[in-house]
Amino acid sequence: MVWAGSAGGIALLVRNPWYLLLIAAAAMMIRWRATGQRPSAGMLRLFAGLMVFPTLLNFLFSRAGETVLLEFPVRFIGGPYTLEALLFGAAAGLQLASLLLVMMTFSLLLSPTDLLRRIPAGLAPAGITASIAMNFAPQARRSFDAVREAQQVRGHAPRGFRDLRGIVTPLVILSLESALTVGEGLATRGWGDAAVSEAGRRMAWAGVGLFALGAIAWSLAPTRGWIAAILVGVGATLLLAVLARSGSRSRYRPEVWRRRDSIIVGVTLGVLSLTAILVALAPSLLVYEPYPQAAWPTFSWPVALAVSLLALPAVLPGHD
């Protein structure tokens, strides 16, 4: 989760093609290490398609730039088609493709159950409810397929809307049975039994109030943003403290935090912090702007080495 958040944040902050390629390569390496399979042709085609679409879109509709490749004296579709527009669209497509590769690796390595284990205890009921709601559509689809197969075995073929009752009725019954089973399982495990204490409730309301005061202070006095930042930070801390203390959860197998986990978290957060500092102090190192005249994007070896550290989970021994 920390790696995906850091790599995704860096992919959103960076617009330099060299560093975006390094982020995409790091995501592919980690995915390769986790699955043991090389990047497939389908993934490469998806990566290329995500780059081609923004490139063509910006090339066709943008008229900025000095390096003219094509020019048609036709109304609506005429005008100069520039190299700068082509390069700008390619950089945007590369950014989108890199971010998608990071999210694909994240979804492959973490299941919804893993995410539920790591949210604050106070949000566990909301997370379980969301996971049950997300599983409703696949379960309904499987029930529908089972009903259709049973009807086909009995030689029944639906002919029109009148025969929908024979499908809808068993589908509703199966959905209710599944809901009752899930409800009984949650009741057996004591879900929803824990309640927030009075002190925790007051702390939560205080956090919400400070958060709102921070937003009001920012709107009234934008020049004194540090006051709003302090109020928002204190309010968010109180809310997180309440959410972490309230609720209860149980685990059959406790997870162990190892030294390599600390190394990966420290390195990825360090790279994200360095990127944020460069965005504030030296944004030209991370941004590629082909307008008004196309040129090669800048390349800095220290920045490239820092971004390459995102591939650390793929090369660190024993991190599977």
Digit-coded pLDDT (tens) for 250-284: 555 667 888 888 999 999 999 999 999 998 888 88
Count CB atoms within 10 A of the CB of residue 117.
Answer: 14
Which residue ranges make up each domain of the chain? 2-117+256-315, 127-188, 198-245
pLDDT < 50: residue spans in the chain: 319-320
At 320 the pLDDT is 45
At 184 the pLDDT is 82
At 81 the pLDDT is 83
Amino acid of residue 24:
A
Q: Which two tokens stand for residue 87?
A: 């390069």
Three-state DSSP class for 122?
helix
At 284 the pLDDT is 87
* 69-110 pLDDT tens trace: 887 766 666 678 888 888 998 999 999 999 999 988 888 888
Three-state DSSP class for 68?
strand
At 3 the pLDDT is 93
At 264 the pLDDT is 92
At 319 the pLDDT is 45
At 206 the pLDDT is 86
Q: Which helix (H) or strand (E) segment is 176 a member of?
A: helix 165-188
Amino acid of residue 19:
Y
